[in-house]
Structure 1
């Protein structure tokens, strides 16, 4: 999962006539089987991994929930959170990323780690993906682009059969947003980093009560 800033980063070119080739950053896996592995990250506008500190905090909270989990990483970007989940024992992970070039880089990193047999990369818009045939996941990472009003509809769509009864959902948004989530989601933990806030929810109860509370949102 990747934090995408609403402000495009400036790109600098050299003095020659041809634009520079894309640079690669590095993503570090924090814990588990792939601990300390460094993976290339494309230099794409607004694309950067969720910070190490936030990932470490989140997976400390999810210590008991990650092994054996089926994980869904929406708006995957670098796939930092889904990759971390696989490293820490998740049984399967599905990564959804609309940018074909970023999705291809993520697939390459999965192959490098030897985890391709436990993962699927889907090149698609997240909302279009959620409109398809659902398969329940026990662990979901949701990090929509900031200030595009995607958090609420995606949270609501997840209640359409995409979640196990006791799923954990990690939602990362701009800090000024008070997210509207389904009534079955109970806030478990919260962490703030820079201009973003991450909230970990634990789903309780069935889908009958799972729609967002219109009076509260």
Structure 2
């Protein structure tokens, strides 16, 4: 999810077409960092469910408000809420992985509005395919897959086996409240976990295997 520095604040919502010539139906607000209070627009799409503001606030209290120098990976990026929030708080590099073309187009528009192309990159491909072919190593990973598809455990194992994590990387996982996060890598330690309504979320730290 992302926020625009005043530029997007002037764009209409509810499917209307704004000055940039595109229609989006939904809006979210960045809650911290240099882009605080800026609004971003994103389309309707199956499974696209922005991380609630209250949950984002808690997460970035856990991570720390200043992410300067960090390399972040936002898997199943959707609205981009987590990745843009990280960039707003100083992350040096944010890679967003998203498969849906229309959602990727909206993410690219948000990057343009925020003038964030030097720090935020979109990869339009399936998450597991990206992990099989990518080479960067990340300090922080956001994993917020569509609910009720049991995607988190295999993606977590792929993150570990593909060597995409720094030695003490932190991994955030968001899921439906009833989900069972079983079969995660044994060298991941739960740092914090919480529930908010129907959403369960947890922060893990990796230890070198």
Which bracket does the TM-score occupy, shorter chain normalised? 0.7 to 0.9
SS state of the match for residue 131, structure 1? helix
2:196 matched to which residue of 1? 193
- Tell me the CA shift for residue 128 of structure 1: 1.2
Q: Is the 8 A contact 2:65 2:89 kept in 1?
A: no
Shift of 1:25: 1.4
Preserved CA contact (<8 Å) 2:24 2:41: no
Change (3 A) 1:114 1:23: closer
Tell me, in whole angstroms, the C-alpha distance in 2 between the residues paired with 1:153 and 1:92.
Answer: 25
Give the superposed CA RMSD.
1.8
**Whole-Å Cα distance in 1 between the matches of residues 174 and 65 of structure 2?**
21
Q: Which runs of 4+ in 1 moved over 6 A?
A: none
Q: Secondary structure at the match of 2:102?
A: helix
Name the structure 2 match of 1:61.
62
Whole-angstrom distance in 2 between the partners of 1:33 and 1:199: 25
Tell me, yes or no, if the aligned pair for 1:22 and 1:43 is still in contact at 8 Å. Answer: no
Counterpart among 184, 187, 209 of residue 187 in structure 2: 184
Instruction: For 1:90-109, list aligned pairs within 5 A.
Output: 90-109=91-110
Bigger shift: 72-81 or 36-45?
36-45
Structure-2 separation of matches of 1:133 and 1:123: 13
Instruction: Tell me the equivalent position of 1:133.
Output: 134
Structure 1 unaligned spans of 5+: 3-20, 207-217
The answer to whether the Cα contact below 8 Å between 1:67 and 1:88 also exists between their aligned partners in 2 is yes
What's the offset of the Cα at 1:66? 2.1
Deviation at 1:46, TM superposition (A): 3.5
Larger Rg belongs to: 1
Aligned residues: 188
